[in-house]
Amino acid sequence: MVLGSGASCAYGIRGMNGLAQHLIETVAPAKDDGDTWEAFKSELNQHSDLEEALQKVTVSNDLHRQIVDRTREMILDDERLFYDKLLSGETALGLSHLFRHLFRTTHKVVEVVTTNYDRLVEYAACQSKFRCNTGFSEGALRHFHCQKSDTSHYTRHANFRCVDVWKVHGSIDWFQDGSASPIGIFDHAVVPETFEPLLVTPGVAKYSRTHQEPFRSVISFADSALSGARGFLCIGYGFSDDHIEPKLIQRSADLQPPIAIIARTLRPGAKDFLSKHLHSSVVAFEKEDTGTKAYTSQHPNGVFFPNENLWSLEGLLNKLRIQQ
């Protein structure tokens, strides 16, 4: 599975547009950074693309830290609201139903590659009563060891089932204190000033940071998952990330595996992928009016299904009668 921000937006986690607005409202640049921040906002207003704006403007270390901190705070606030609804039963995760369905097979591991910072995948795995591995140990202070779940001690259990989640851009509960090993800590902790949140935010720093741990190892395992996959389900993913797309495209070209793409709106990157890799085992769905537009090799321009909700995970699972 490949999950983009669209997979979380359905549950109230703000995406790039929401993050851009949040940064404009909450980042307080120092006097020396005032011109840089104004240049960033000007770029953002012109192109309405957060990543493009941050790539064109080089920010100081202080501004970058503020961007990371404000990003984490926003995702954490949104996630808390969702978590409360999850506990009260007001909402449910389609991924939970999907994991239960996928583990009604001989497969012991499902691999998820995601650019998202939130922990909705982890919640879905726990809700469906399966283990979840993000490369960190369990416990109050989770240490980074980054190994696949099927090489861990859990494989001794006959009923072993685990979701491996490779978060190539980090997570809101990952931190690093200087040169120390990365750790995962509880949300309620008062984070020391020396602890840096391990989030790869859009912009130039995105590429330099991913050469360091834990991202280097996580991306390596994500590459392995993508290169070895016999099929892909892409949910809310825009096909615009250099850490995921090349391996996915290569696997698609070499093997032509089944690929299902679902999104509220297929982004330009996804449309470009379809224009070049729309073989007979590829299907894509996006929302159109009150129905769904589907793309296949026989219908490259799309065919409309009125009053069908196939573009969302819940709608697709319902159509396939995968509901529990």
| Angle between helical axes of 34-47 and 16-26 (0-180°, round to 10) | 150
Has residue 324 got a pLDDT over 70?
no
209 part of a folded domain? yes
What are the start-end ranges of the H helices in 49-164? 50-56, 61-88, 94-102, 120-127
| % pLDDT > 90, the chain | 73
Asked if the structure places residue 36 within a domain, the reply is: no
Q: Which of 49-53, 221-225, 245-249, 276-280 has the lowest mean pLDDT?
A: 49-53
Measured distance CA(268)–CA(215) in Å, rounded = 26
301 pLDDT more than 60 = yes
Question: What pLDDT is recorded for position 13?
Answer: 97
pLDDT-derived band at 57, boundaries 50, 70, 90:
confident
Q: Give the separation between CA 6 and CA 263, rounded to whole angstroms.
A: 7
Q: What is the pLDDT of residue 155?
A: 56
Does 248 have pLDDT greater than 60? yes
The pLDDT of residue 222 is 95
* Cβ contact 62:30 at 8 Å: yes
- pLDDT single digits (tens) 92-132: 899 999 999 999 998 899 999 999 999 999 999 999 999 99
pLDDT of residue 80 exceeding 90, the answer is yes
142 touches 186 (CB < 8 A) = no
Q: Is residue 238 part of a domain?
A: yes
Per-residue confidence (pLDDT) for residue 259, from 0 to 100: 97
| Residue 87 forms part of a structural domain | no
Residue 60 located in a structural domain: no
- Within 10 angstroms of residue 230's Cβ, the number of other Cβ atoms is 8
So what's the pLDDT on residue 201? 85
What is the total residue count of the chain?
324
In a domain, 130, yes or no: yes
Minimum mean pLDDT among 106-115, 149-158, 243-252, 284-293: which range?
Answer: 149-158
Burial of 140 (0-12, 13-18, 19+ CB in 10 A): exposed
Residue 44, helix vs strand vs coil: helix
Q: Is the pLDDT of residue 63 over 80?
A: yes
- CA 136 distance to own-chain centroid: 17
Task: Kindly list the distances between the CA atom of residue 55 and the CA atoms of 32, 40, 58, 245, in Å, as whole numbers in the listed order.
Answer: 20, 9, 7, 19
Residue 148 counted as domain residue: yes
Q: Is residue 18 one of the residues assigned to a domain?
A: no
Maximum separation of any 2 CA atoms in the chain, in Å: 61
Q: Which domain holds residue 243?
A: 2-12+92-257
Q: How many domains does the chain have?
A: 1
Estimate the crossing angle of helix 61-88 against helix 120-127, to 10 degrees: 30
Q: Which helix (H) or strand (E) holds 304?
A: strand 303-305
